[in-house]
Amino acid sequence: MSNTMKVLEGRLTLCKRGIIFLLMLLSNAQSFAADDSVRVQLKWWHQFQFAGYYAAEKKGYYEESGLKVKLMPGDPTHAPVPQVLSNEADFGITGSDLVVEYAHGKPLVALGAIFQHSPYTILSLKEKKIHVPSDLIGKRLMASPDQGWTELKAVFLREGISPDSLKILSHSWNNTDLIEDKADAITAYISVEVNQLRKRGVEPSYILPINYGIDFYGDVLFTQKKMAESQPQLVQKFTEASFRGWVYAMNHTNEIADYILTLPGVKERGVTKDDLLVEAEAMRKLILPDLVEIGHMNEGRWRHIVEVHSRLGLIKNAPDLTGFLYDGTQKVSSKFFKNAVYISIIVLSLLLISVLYGFSLRKAVKKRTEQLEAEIIERAHAQNLLSISEQRLEMATVAAGLGIWDWDITNDNVYFNDQWKLMLGYEPKEIADHFSTFEQLLHPNEKSGLMQLLNDHLEGKSEVYQAMIRMRTKDRRWKWILTMSKASMRDETGRAIRLSGIHLDIDDIKQKEIELRQLSQELMHSNRELQQFAYITSHNLRAPVANLISLLSLFDKEHLSERNHVLLEKMELSVERLHATLNDLNEILSSRANMVEKDEVLYFDQELHKVVELISEDIRLKEVVIHVDFSKASSIFFSRKVLHSILLNLLTNAIKYRKPDIAPEITVSTEEDGEYIILYVKDNGMGIDLEKYGNKIFGLYQRFHDNKDGKGLGLYIIKNQIEALEGKIAVESMVNKGCLFHVFLKKKKLSYE
């Protein structure tokens, strides 16, 4: 019992010391709150990138909030995070790599994100032909650690490219170095440097992180944790005034551009109003002010950003984001009152603990005794279940043909199960359980690449280690194996100390894949030859057919005998059919040529309007009503000629096969569905009997209504065009109920303009 009292007295002494510490902290907090002058470290020199803060200053929003704000321009020697942490600034603006600093223990708080999409890009000259990250291997890249390099490095790591394979140079912040070939590429802002190069008559090329699954926030407003906790009202006032300034700036770009030109150093750098307005429009696509509230941040998206950095080894242990994201709703009117409440709760808790401690101790001893008795029974049961589970696992792996391996890296102990060896033709005792065994059986062409993947996984740069490899069998042939593993244990540095994985025999599948690839190449070659033959045939026959038509027209039908008149009509009919066939063949060949047209950003409403203009007279005469809804997907990066062909064929079909007693109505709409944008074209026409014609709808020369003119080419042509561009088309229809066509248009990556 004396020991219990000593423990209790020790805890009470510790709590008293905690109360004294809290009171000291409270007095410091009061003195800290006296000054409403704040310093803001901008990320770079004065430009439209910080327009919201200039607007808040110019329009008096800071003054209305009782704040005196000093905006300090940045440069290569004044990075925002070090400036704020060293108390040289109260607030700063930086990128999403702020969360990396937070994960490394820096006491930082994110107040809001200005850019919903990161502005960072890798910029090069078009003549360099650097279009994807792999094009930069062995090339010179200028980068700065505190200006987006963490984010851009994630792009390379995600693509399986080690940053060590690049020649990283210190950033000079001078675009001339790119033009003078002192670097192959530089890290840059998509909203600024692209325009600067174009002004100098140089066409840029750039790589955007979003096209490689890296979509981070940009220009995040932040402060220190102690500032957010000790002066929540000041932080809230500054944040709200700043975001209010951003709303004004994006709605009054001309006015703010004029104001920026008056700031120190702007005109001296050669910046013009046009430059600022171009920057503003580029920023609009990143900020999305018409869609997203200024400063909006989502905890789920921040968690995703942390996960990306963790998978790439840039963050070892994912942090709790509770203290990282600022919650402006948790305001207090008095910091002293808040701390007093905390202290009262602590004191009451201590009193309650002292009363309940003795009772709890006796109860805990009794409970622990019961737990130990139950634990003995539970362990015996668990041992039995473990034995059963091991037997089931062994049966499952044998049935699935899985080879299992395990590597204790610390002690260099390796285990291969029997199936691992049997799939290579060896008896279990014929080969040793050593890592060198695996290396010796591995195909020499794949050894270096696989070892790199393995090392990346060991260092925590990848979550899973997976590859298709060739291994030598006992009969000296190469067999395809799928190897997969995951680190089951890692040390405190994040390096793997134990790996477990499986081998799966995929040799039959791989051989079939190789055969299919060869067959596909042969078919593509044959298809090209057939198209060339069709083109030559069409070209060589058109002139003779035209001559035949001309010659037949010279006959005087009135002076021919009845028999010769019949023969002449048959000749004319045959020549006309041949001429029509050649025209159809030419139309099909032309539709295939359209598939190689350059893709561009197309707005559905504009392109539909152009197509409707082509058939406007037919629409007027038939009194066609067209309904449009492109609200769910307004645009697409696609071939204009192919889109026009699809719309023209489906609209003309809807008009041609209308019901005689009802005014034609056509509805054209779109929506997004994963990797596709679906174009819907619906009509109230005669419909198609799918039970009768279901497998023929998109065939060549297929017609479904005898009383209507038509060649049966339209649906065949657009199906081929759509499928050639990795899309697909389907139809729903019932007789006299109309048709609904679903056109799945494959989304494509587009460059940022």
Lowest-confidence region among 12-21, 93-102, 497-506: 12-21
Does pLDDT of 637 surpass 80?
A: yes
Amino acid residing at 621: L
| 413-438 per-position pLDDT tens digit | 899 988 899 999 999 889 889 888 99
Mean pLDDT of 314-339: 68
Contacts of 240 (CB under 8 A, 6+ apart): 65, 328
Strand order in the sheet with 140-143: 167-170, 140-143, 185-189, 120-125, 204-207
Handedness of CA 291, 294, 296, 302 (dihedral sign): positive
Phi, psi of 472 (to 5 degrees): -80, 130
218's tokens:
């940009």
Contacts of 19 (CB under 8 A, 6+ apart): 343, 346, 347
pTM: 0.43
Per DSSP, the chain holds a count of helices (H) and strands (E) of 24, 22
Contacts of 434 (CB under 8 A, 6+ apart): 414
Instruction: Enumerate the β-bridge partners of residue 482.
Output: 468, 504
Q: Greater confidence, 111 or 403? A: 111
Amino acid residing at 226: K
Does pLDDT of 33 surpass 60?
A: no
Strands 413-416 vs 402-408: parallel, antiparallel or unpaired: antiparallel
Give the range with max mean pLDDT: 11-15, 154-158, 524-528, 645-649.
645-649
Domains of the chain: 33-117+216-323 (3.40.190.10), 120-212 (3.40.190.10), 401-505 (3.30.450.20), 512-592 (1.10.287), 597-746 (3.30.565.10)
Does pLDDT of 3 surpass 60?
A: no
397 to 392, 415, 419, 431: CA distances (angstroms): 9, 15, 8, 20
545 to 531, 537, 540, 551, 588: CA distances (angstroms): 21, 12, 9, 10, 19
Task: Kindly report the length of the chain.
Answer: 753
Alpha carbons 668 and 649: distance in angstroms, whole number: 13
Dump the DSSP string for 234-245.
Answer: HHHHHHHHHHHH
C-alpha dihedral, 233 to 238 to 242 to 244, nearest 10°: 40
Does pLDDT of 5 surpass 80?
A: no
pLDDT of residue 267: 92
Q: Which of 168, 190, 191 is nearest to 121 (CA)?
A: 190
Banded model confidence at residue 525, pLDDT cuts 50, 70, 90: low
pLDDT of residue 332: 42
Strands 91-94 vs 218-224: parallel, antiparallel or unpaired: antiparallel
Task: Give the SS3 label for residue 7.
Answer: helix
Residue pair 499/465 in contact (Cβ under 8 Å)? The answer is yes
| 187-201 per-position pLDDT tens digit | 888 888 888 888 888
| 566-577 per-position pLDDT tens digit | 787 777 777 676
Strands 728-734 vs 204-207: parallel, antiparallel or unpaired: unpaired
Does pLDDT of 471 surpass 70?
A: yes
Q: Greater confidence, 532 or 82? A: 82
150's tokens:
């963490």
Amino acid residing at 420: W
Q: Across the chain, what does the average pLDDT equal?
A: 80
Banded model confidence at residue 4, pLDDT cuts 50, 70, 90: very low
Banded model confidence at residue 25, pLDDT cuts 50, 70, 90: very low
Residue pair 150/314 in contact (Cβ under 8 Å)? The answer is yes
Alpha carbons 23 and 346: distance in angstroms, whole number: 12
Provide the greatest CA pair distance for the chain: 139
Q: How many CB atoms lie within 10 A of CB 326?
A: 22
Does pLDDT of 336 surpass 50?
A: no
Residue pair 16/347 in contact (Cβ under 8 Å)? The answer is no
109's tokens:
């708080």
Strands 167-170 vs 140-143: parallel, antiparallel or unpaired: parallel
| 712-726 per-position pLDDT tens digit | 567 888 888 888 888
714's tokens:
């339209």
Banded model confidence at residue 655, pLDDT cuts 50, 70, 90: very high
**What are 574-579's contacts with CB under 8 Å, separation 24+?**
575/545, 575/548, 575/549, 576/549, 578/541, 578/545, 579/545, 579/546, 579/549
Three-state secondary structure readout of 253-310: HHHHHHHHCCCCCCHHHCCCHHHHHHHHHHHHHHHCCCCCCCECCCHHHHHHHHHHHH
Rounded to the nearest angstrom, the gap between the alpha carbon of residue 343 and the centroid of all alpha carbons in its chain is 48
Lowest-confidence region among 304-318, 545-559, 639-653, 694-708: 694-708
270's tokens:
């050669």
Could you give the angle at the alpha carbon of 470 between the alpha carbons of 468 and 474, nearest 5°?
140
Spell out where 337-416 has E strands: 402-408, 413-416
Q: Which of 548, 547, 546, 564 is nearest to 556 (CA)?
A: 564
| 214-257 per-position pLDDT tens digit | 888 999 999 999 999 999 999 999 999 999 999 999 999 999 99
Mean pLDDT of 599-628: 92
pLDDT of residue 752: 43
Residue 288 buriedness (CB in 10 A; 0-12 / 13-18 / 19+): middle
pLDDT exceeding 90 applies to what percent of the chain?
Answer: 31
Q: Which residue has the tokens 């609904």?
A: 740
Does pLDDT of 184 surpass 90?
A: yes
